[in-house]
Structure 1
Amino acid sequence: MARRGGRAGPGDAPGPGVREPDGDAGDARADGARRGSPALTSRAAILAVVVCAIALSLAYPVREYIAQRQEIAELRQKEAEARRQVEILAQRKQQLGDKSYIEREATRRLHYCRPNVKCYIVLDGEGGGGREAHKGGPTRRPPWYETLWRSVEAADRPR
């Protein structure tokens, strides 16, 4: 038998084991499904607000934690550099405590001589201490006081 208008007639029976809902019961379920959807979205909205509130309340402490970890890493690096500097200074202190090192440096840098020892200072440019250019290197400028003295001498000469 054919169905007309989408509703089963009085003679039309559904197949075995198939139960066809009433028009009223089907309408109620459709309305319930429509009403269930807004309840789900309001729950989802509340859940979203709670998740956002938790995320916002955790954002600042997490940012501070990360900043503190970076600061700790920087401080550890500075501490390591300071320890290296202390080691270098301790070695330097030990060197300066050695009398022979002090004597060598005084002789080399300050041109001091021990008593009863003849010391020579070579004044020509070949000794490496003159104003001549090193081979293959740039020319050295004389010290400022020599330049000043030369300018005074040049101004003193008659023209």
Structure 2
Amino acid sequence: MSTTRRAAVLAIVVCALAFTLAVPLRTYLSQRAEISQQEQQQAHLRDEVARLQARQAALNDPAQVEAEARRRLQYVMPGETPYLVQLPEDTPQGQQQRARQQAEPGGAAWYEQLWSTVGH
């Protein structure tokens, strides 16, 4: 057999091996990447479960439930006097003024704003 024929046969064998190994290798690498992504997602979900279990344990405490009800729902116990503090920006006029200020990008220069507050 001549050397060129041997080289051609060897090249064909190498190409056949490369093609037979390429698909499983590609599958292996893509599965490794997917496993890594799933492990990250699993770690994230474990953290979330731990956070939710801590929140559940905190809500099993009646004092915590009472504090949440007072803070979120403004509940008061019988005999207590509730006070509602309303700041100027909480009124409808204050909200409109805040909306106007936000709607005006840049608005007036700082010295014009200062001059208007001086009471002209």
Q: CA RMSD in A?
A: 2.2
- Which residue of 2 is the match for residue 108 of structure 1? 71
Residues 124-139 of structure 1: pairs in structure 2 closer than 5 A: 124-126=86-88, 130-131=90-91, 132=94, 139=98
Range with bigger deviation, 94-103 or 55-64: 94-103
User: How far off its partner does 1:121 sit?
Assistant: 1.5
User: How far off its partner does 1:140 sit?
Assistant: 5.7
User: How far off its partner does 1:64 sit?
Assistant: 0.2
User: How far off its partner does 1:110 sit?
Assistant: 0.9
Residues 18-97 of structure 1: pairs in structure 2 closer than 5 A: 39-97=2-60
Aligned amino acid, residue 139 of structure 1: R
User: How far off its partner does 1:65 sit?
Assistant: 0.3
Unaligned segments of structure 2, at least 5 residues? 101-120
Per the normalisation by structure 1, the TM-score is 0.56
- Is the partner of 1:139 in helix, strand or coil? helix
Aligned amino acid, residue 2 of structure 2: A
CA-to-partner distance for each residue in 1:96-117, whole Å, 9 max, x for gaps?
1111111111111111110121
Per the normalisation by structure 2, the TM-score is 0.72
Which runs of at least 4 in structure 1 moved beyond 6 Å after TM superposition?
none
- Is the partner of 2:2 in helix, strand or coil? helix
CA-to-partner distance for each residue in 1:72-102, whole Å, 9 max, x for gaps?
0000000000001001101110111111111
Aligned residues: percent identity?
A: 40
User: How far off its partner does 1:125 sit?
Assistant: 2.3
Give the whole-Å Cα distance in 1 for the aligned partners of 2:14 and 2:35.
Answer: 31
Give the whole-Å Cα distance in 2 for the aligned partners of 1:139 and 1:87.
Answer: 40
Q: Could you say if the C-alpha distance between residues 89 and 140 of structure 1 is closer, same or farther in structure 2, counting changes exceeding 3 Å? A: farther
Structure with a larger share of its residues in helix: 2
CA-to-partner distance for each residue in 1:95-154, whole Å, 9 max, x for gaps?
1111111111111111111012121113x425x7x2446xxxx9269xxxxxxxxxxxxx
Q: How many residues align?
A: 97
Structure having greater relative contact order (Cα 8 Å, sep ≥ 6): 2
Aligned amino acid, residue 102 of structure 1: V
